[in-house]
Amino acid sequence: EAASNSNIEDMSIHNRTVSSRKILIATGASPAVPETLSRAAFDAGVPYYTYRSLLRPNSLESLFSTPADGDQTKTPQNIVLVGGGATACELGQTISRLGGDDLNVSIVAHALIPAEDVTLQHAATKVLETDGCNIHLGSRAVDVVTRSDGNSAIGPRLLLNDNTTIPVDCLFFCIGRTPESSLSSLQLNRAGVAWTPDRGVTVNSYLRSKTARHIYASGDCASAVPYRDRRAIHAGWTGFNAVRNALLPWFLRSPA
C-alpha cells in the first residue's frame, strides 16, 4: 500500500512502513485474461492457462501425462490458443510437437504476428500448419458452449464470431500483458499516482509520474514505454534511466 506524506512516500509492506523521498515502481505486467471468456470456460469445465502458468516446473509433464489407473482426469486432446502474437506461435508449435499425432492444436486470431511484415506472417502460418496446428485467422473467440446430440453430450466447443465452433478441452490465452493486477494492489490512488490499466503509471519522458513528482516507473508498468518495446532488455534500460533521473541533478537527467 502507498500513502502520501508531503514529499516523503510511505509504503506499507507486511505491516511494516518504509519511507523514502524517491520511489521507483517496477512491478512489470502479467498475462491478460479476458474476463468474459475465462468465466465461460470455467462454467463449461474447461481449464485455461497463460504462458506464465504453462512454463512453471512440471506443467507440461502434467498436461501431457497419461492418467493413472482409476484417475478420472482426462488428458486434453483439443487445445486452443487465443491470440496471434509471438507467444501464441511459439507455444502452439511447442505443444503441437510435444503432443504428437493424438493432439489437436488450434490457434484463433485476427492475424498472426500482425506487427510484422506480411511475408513473415505467411511464413509463420505455413510453419505452424506444417507442425500440425490448425490456424483460424480473421476469427475471434466469443464464448465456450456445451452441445449435445439429444442423447449424449458432445463436449465443450469454442464459439467464434462467425458462429462456427471448434472442439476445446483446454484454453491458452495469449492476448498480451497488462500491468493492472500488479498496480491495483498498490493502492496508488492514496498517494495521488495516476495510472491506467492498459498503459500503467502515467509518466513523462523522464519516467517521472505526472501527478506525484517523487514517484518514478519503469518497464512494462510505465506509460512512456511503447507497447512493442516492452521487453526485458528495455525494462532494464528504463530502470537505469529512472534511477538516474531520480537521483541526479536536473541538468544530468535524460529522457528514456
Cell of 69: 489407473
The residues facing 137 across adjacent strands are 109
Indicate the SS3 state at residue 217.
strand
**pTM check: above 0.85:** no
Integer angstrom CA distances of residue 245 from 23, 82, 239? 12, 40, 10
Which residue stretches of 131-250 are H helix? 180-184, 232-247
pLDDT tens for the 256 residues of the chain, in order: 655 554 545 666 667 788 888 999 999 999 999 999 999 999 999 999 998 887 777 665 556 655 555 555 567 789 999 999 999 999 999 999 988 788 999 999 999 999 899 999 999 999 999 999 999 999 999 999 987 555 555 789 999 999 999 999 999 999 989 999 889 989 898 889 999 999 999 999 999 999 999 999 999 999 998 877 777 888 899 999 999 999 999 888 888 8
Indicate the SS3 state at residue 165.
strand
Q: Which residues of 67-92 are buried (b: 16+ CB within 10 A; e: fewer)?
A: eeeeeeeebbebbbbbbbbebbbebb
Which residue stretches of the chain are H helix? 35-43, 51-54, 59-64, 86-99, 118-130, 180-184, 232-247
